[in-house]
Amino acid sequence: MPTSRPGGGHQSPAAVSTVGLRKSFGDKTVLDGIDLRIPAGSVFALLGPNGAGKTTAVKILSTLISADGGQAQVAGHDVTTSPDGVRAAIGVTGQFSAVDGLITGEENMLLMADLHHLSKQEGRQVTAELLERFDLVEAAKKPASTYSGGMKRRLDIAMTLVGNPRIIFLDEPTTGLDPRSRHNMWQIIRELVTGGVTVFLTTQYLEEADELADRIAVLNDGKIAAEGTAEELKRLIPGGHVRLRFDDPDTYQTAALALHEASRDDEALSLQIPSDGSQRELRSILDWLDAAGIEADELTVHTPDLDDVFFALTGSAKVPAQPGRPAQPTQPVQPAQPKEDVR
Ligand SMILES: Nc1ncnc2c1ncn2[C@@H]1O[C@H](COP(=O)(O)OP(=O)(O)OP(=O)(O)O)[C@@H](O)[C@H]1O
């Protein structure tokens, strides 16, 4: 149970929490007991390969479909017994966008304002503010079908904000966007969070999760394979190392003989010592180098990136085994470990 802490301690109230959430389609189990706890005001990224069940999780949490088992609360409302309470507190954008291409951006916004029972005057005011905020004033009178992908996503989020939601589900908000539009979207998401909104994000992009999310859960085979901050996740897998580089070939040879556990790159005159990058390990490596009388010309610490984590956890073999450290785990981490290992 990666995210829930028995006994509670007291952190911020949960915006979203699930216990043992399950969903199958026919005989295919898509969610196989998902436990989540997402503090209010944070960005949470649900990361997973194609077909992992990310959209299914969003659909359940936004009451579009029901779960087969388990419990889920969103903004303090149970998704099964109080779906209206959930709907009043959330906004959803993404793969099932609400944008109507046949009408203009402004008309889409006004329609949304009507759906939220705003008065005509309030609706116009909110629409004008949001079109301005999302840089859509110029395009406001054009049919949404003429918008670029980035503009449609911005309109979609603007429409979601008409209802002033406390929690926003963004299902793959930047899929298909060019790098610039993606960065714009990231900025929008950051601003939402600054304004106190909780963001539940699904993404296949590790960089996106790394950039935006306070916490990341990796969904694989219907289960949360690991959960934590990007830094916590990176520390869970092997691949980190300290690299020592030498200018002088003789010094390099001497060091390579003394540090027989290290892997060698004779061409670059560098040695790699497996390390989790923690201060404690770094200190012991430095002590060890001092004791052996080795002085490198350059010392760098490499930690695995989120790609390494993702591939390790979702079963692909991207992470090369590090020689000389057989005790290091090479298997995906156990779900319960991340929390305890760190901080
Ligand atoms: N209504 C449905 N009926 C049958 N199978 C479904 C249904 N909805 C989803 N699935 C299946 O459930 C699995 C998870 O789908 P889901 O869309 O939740 O994955 P995802 O992680 O969002 O994937 P992607 O990144 O490709 O959008 C897939 O195998 C999908 O085919």
Domain boundary assignment for the chain: 14-230, 241-334
Nearest atom (ligand 1) to Cα of 57: 18
Nearest atom (ligand 1) to Cα of 52: 21
Q: So what's the pLDDT on residue 144?
A: 93
Could you tell me if the CB of 53 is within 6 A of ligand 1?
Answer: yes
Query: In whole angstroms, what is the distance from residue 119 CA to residue 176 CA?
Result: 36
Q: How far is the CA of 251 from the centre of ligand 1 (A)?
A: 57
Query: In whole angstroms, what is the distance from residue 111 CA to residue 98 CA?
Result: 11
Q: So what's the pLDDT on residue 12?
A: 65
Could you tell me if the CB of 25 is within 6 A of ligand 1?
Answer: yes
Could you tell me if the CB of 222 is within 6 A of ligand 1?
Answer: no
Residue with CA at minimum distance from ligand 1 atom 18: 53
Q: What is the DSSP string of 98-120?
A: ---TTSBHHHHHHHHHHHTT--H
H helices of 90-236, in order, are 105-115, 120-133, 149-161, 179-194, 206-212, 230-234
Could you tell me if the CB of 149 is within 6 A of ligand 1?
Answer: no
Its pTM surpasses 0.90: no
Query: In whole angstroms, what is the distance from residue 218 CA to residue 165 CA?
Result: 26
β-partners of residue 228 are 216
Q: How are strands ordered across the β-sheet holding 90-93?
A: 90-93, 167-171, 198-203, 43-47, 215-220, 223-228
Residue with CA at minimum distance from ligand 1 atom 1: 25
Which residues in the chain come in under a pLDDT of 50? 1-9, 317-343
Nearest C-alpha neighbor of 309 from the set 332, 327, 329:
332
Residue with CA at minimum distance from ligand 1 atom 28: 51
Per the structure block, which two tokens stand in for 22? 């399950």
Q: How far is the CA of 143 from the centre of ligand 1 (A)?
A: 31
Nearest atom (ligand 1) to Cα of 53: 18
As a CATH number, domain 14-230 is 3.40.50.300
Q: So what's the pLDDT on residue 20?
A: 96
* Owner of token pair 């601003």: 191
Could you tell me if the CB of 331 is within 6 A of ligand 1?
Answer: no
Nearest atom (ligand 1) to Cα of 65: 1
* Residue of 22, 23, 30, 201 best suited for mutating to test ligand 1, as the one with most atoms within 8 Å of CB: 30
Query: In whole angstroms, what is the distance from residue 114 CA to residue 22 CA?
Result: 35
Of the CA atoms within 13 Å of residue 179, those in its CB half-sphere come to 1
Residue with CA at minimum distance from ligand 1 atom 10: 25
**ipTM associated with this complex:** 0.96
Residue with CA at minimum distance from ligand 1 atom 8: 56
Could you tell me if the CB of 17 is within 6 A of ligand 1?
Answer: no
